[in-house]
Amino acid sequence: MTLVGCFTAPHPPIIVPEVGGPSLAEAQSTVQAMTELGRRAVLLAPDTIVLMSPHSPLARSQMGMSLAAAYQGSMAYFHAPQVRLRLEGDPELAMALMDAARAHGVPVIATASAGEVMELDHGAMVPLLYLTRELPRSARLVLLSFSFLSLEEHVRYGEIIGEVLLETPRRVVYVASSDLSHRLIPGAPAGYDPRGAVFDRKVAETFAAGDWEALLTIEPGLVSAAGECGYRSLAVLSGVVAAARKVGLHTSNQLLSYEGPWGVGYLVGEVEVTGEQSGGQEKAGEGRGEHSEAHPGEKQRWG
């Protein structure tokens, strides 16, 4: 078994039905696409979800890795305390990821210790609510965080993570939690900058094309002007994908939805992983059923 697929998902609490209520209609594209990701997660049948959240504990010069035995969270801060989630951790896999990063010289720190129950931030909680609610059996979780190290170091971190996931006996889905620009419209959370929409357009177009090189070489000034919180999540995802391709697997990007109804860009997408690894290992994604080619959430608004 191996890495069976990758998702990229936004994390606005307002798309949780119990939080958003009638406002959900304003982000229908995102809600439908996230629901579709949940259906695809069922088909991929993960044993473990490895998720990078921009809102997990962050160290300036070290990547973050949680070794927690379990995770729990609720939407109480967003006035929906009845929405709760608890998942068992996968500390064995987390330790393997940490050991590999350190062996390759990537600085990494434990954001939760072995045996600890870690609280889920909304960057993890929102995607997980959609991805786990229809699973016939509960998946385990490993929670990652990025740093202020260079973009190249984030890609390298992703490559190391991917190499470990490709060798694990578990079925693993990798998730990049990522909101894009927070400056799409006047009154947006981080203020307005017209370059926010330019940044989001470039990310969405390069992701849809599977052009990781173009995605990773967006001008730094444009990235900074966008006020984003997920570009480094996507950089790590690109490394995970590169590791899969290195062993002969085929990857294919699908942009399911992009919109920015409240001034923050929400991109929902999948990187399908198919084929057989070099060395005759089990096919990635084996056992996955057919999913509809229709993407009900496919709608693009560029702020």
Helix axis angle for 151-167 and 231-246, nearest 10°, is 50
Measured between alpha carbons, how far is 220 from 290 in angstroms, rounded to an integer?
A: 39
Q: Looking at the domain assignment, is residue 250 inside a domain?
A: yes
Measured between alpha carbons, how far is 72 from 82 in angstroms, rounded to an integer?
A: 13
pLDDT at 301: 35
pLDDT at 278: 80
Which residues sit opposite 232 in a β-bridge?
A: none
pLDDT at 289: 43
Contacts of 225 (CB under 8 A, 6+ apart): 183, 193, 195, 196, 199
User: Are 67 and 93 in contact, with CB atoms under 8 Å apart?
Assistant: no
Q: Looking at the domain assignment, is residue 285 inside a domain?
A: no
pLDDT at 56: 92
pLDDT at 293: 35
Looking at residue 80, which CATH number applies to its domain?
3.40.830.10
**Which ranges of the chain have pLDDT less than 70?**
1, 279-303
pLDDT at 303: 34
Number of structural domains found in the chain: 1
Q: Looking at the domain assignment, is residue 296 inside a domain?
A: no
Structural domain for 223, as ranges: 3-274
pLDDT at 283: 55
Q: How many beta carbons lie within 10 A of that of residue 75, not counting itself?
A: 20
Q: Looking at the domain assignment, is residue 281 inside a domain?
A: no
Q: What are phi and psi of 174, to 5 degrees?
A: -100, 135
Describe the strand order of the beta sheet including 3-9 as a list of residue ranges.
108-112, 63-66, 140-145, 48-52, 172-177, 3-9, 266-274, 250-259
Q: Looking at the domain assignment, is residue 279 inside a domain?
A: no
Q: Looking at the domain assignment, is residue 300 inside a domain?
A: no
Measured between alpha carbons, how far is 179 from 254 in angstroms, rounded to an integer?
A: 17
Structure token pair of residue 49: 């979800």
pLDDT at 300: 38
Q: Looking at the domain assignment, is residue 67 inside a domain?
A: yes
Q: Classify residue 196 by its DSSP letter.
A: H
Which residues sit opposite 144 in a β-bridge?
A: 52, 65
Nearest to 8 by CA among 196, 204, 161, 151: 204
Q: Looking at the domain assignment, is residue 56 inside a domain?
A: yes
